Amino acid sequence: MTKVVFHKWRQRYGGHEVNELKRVKELEDENSRLKRMYANLSLVHEALKDAVSKKL
């Protein structure tokens, strides 16, 4: 680990407890999952809108 990376890591996570860091990681993972779900649903929604507009 370079000094720059270490100092950025320490600045970001320095004052947190282990359980807080675990919770942050869980929330980041959940946020990523929800963003993927939203992107997939948006694609499906657009495809359905296109299909409906072509039938009319």
**Domain boundaries along the sequence of the chain:** 16-55
Phi, psi dihedral angles at 55 (to 5 degrees): -75, -25
pTM over 0.85: no
Q: How far apart are CA 54 and CA 37, in angstroms?
A: 26
Average pLDDT over residues 28-32: 98
Average pLDDT over residues 24-53: 96
